Amino acid sequence: MSHPLTQLSEDEKAFKEAVREFAEGEVKPLVHEMDEKAQMNPDLIKKLFEMGVMAIETPEKYGGIEGSFSLACLVVEEFGRVDGSVSVMVDVQNTLVTNAFLKWGTEAQKEKYLPKLASEWVGAYALSESSSGSDAFALKLRAEDKGDHYVLKGHKLWITNANEAQVFLVFANLNPEKGYKGITGFIVERGFEGFKVGKKEDKMGIRASSTCELIFEDCIVPKENLFGEEGKGYKIAIETLNEGRIGIGAQMLGIAQGAYEAALAYTQTREQFGKPISQFQGVQFQLAEMRTELEAIRLLVYNAARLKDAGLPFAKEAAMAKLYASQGAERICSRAVDLFGGNGFTKEYPVEKFYRDVKIGQIYEGTSNMQLQTIAKMELS
């Protein structure tokens, strides 16, 4: 579904349609199996790279397709319509990892990592810890400057894409006495000495998307893998997450779209009292409310993406989009389950998975309360 707010070129519109066909033809047949096994299909990951969806904003000189942020969000939405797990893998790769490299990486780092992220390497963004969730800067992961390298000690938790990732953007405190102004970013490769991926979480939803602990046992990081300036990690984290929240809004929009379409089709084929249930006014009103809320989500998400593409302030709009998209999408998915009746509670039909997948939207990349706090602060400032 195109929308004038996206202001897409003809090439971008064609790419979006190709992504929908890919999601329907290549992803949809694998969704149930990946959910049951809680594992992303490796061949599918390769196809995602071949499709170009893992490097949407990446310039062509680094192997990307040099599209807009709005296009990245539309791609995330299209995958969310079929599978929330594939959607969030593509989202983190584009709106967090690649975006951060584009904005904060040195030219040497871009030349080294962006081509790999465009062709074969999955990336992960490592900020959260067991004691550092909403209080994102209460980091206990420590970094020490050893002269010709850094050493990282500690743990990260709930890191998306960790099981598949080859490169991680990691935030640690280099100068704890300076508080959040000691937080610094580092580029950690999977093969670095002293680094390993730990326990994989067994989750309620987006099960094929890996969420893992990261363990740093005197992990050696070369000096050239400092990401941004020392002590500027908090700035990188805040600004990158502002962009990432729009991506999560797009993921929620896609999941809600998938649930709505499934419910709309089901109500036109499910018969009770001698006619399709879509002919009952009570059902029609529910569908009308779902469709209206879906469009409200779409407008908020697309508007935030448009502002970001235009180089205009968007932090408040990103928080609004993420807040409303995650809450509204849960309501839509819940109502979809209701409209399916008993069938909606079984794994034979798609809406129970949409319902499980949608819940995380109110939690990761900033809880709903944190979005409310951001909105209120900016309104009152």
365 carries an active-site annotation: yes
CA distance 124 to 172: 15
323 in Cβ contact with 23 (< 8 Å): no
Question: First-to-last CA distance in the chain?
Answer: 37
Helix 351-358 × helix 233-269 angle, to 10°: 160
Residue 261 CB: number of other CB atoms within 10 A? 14
**CA nearest 57: which of 120, 127, 117?**
117
**CA nearest 332: which of 285, 360, 293?**
293
Q: Given the residues 77, 78, 164, 365, select the one marked as catalytic.
A: 365
Cβ-Cβ contacts under 8 Å for 147 (sequence gap 6 or more): none
If 0-12 CB within 10 Å is exposed, 13-18 middle and 19+ buried, where does residue 91 land? buried
Catalytically active residues are 365
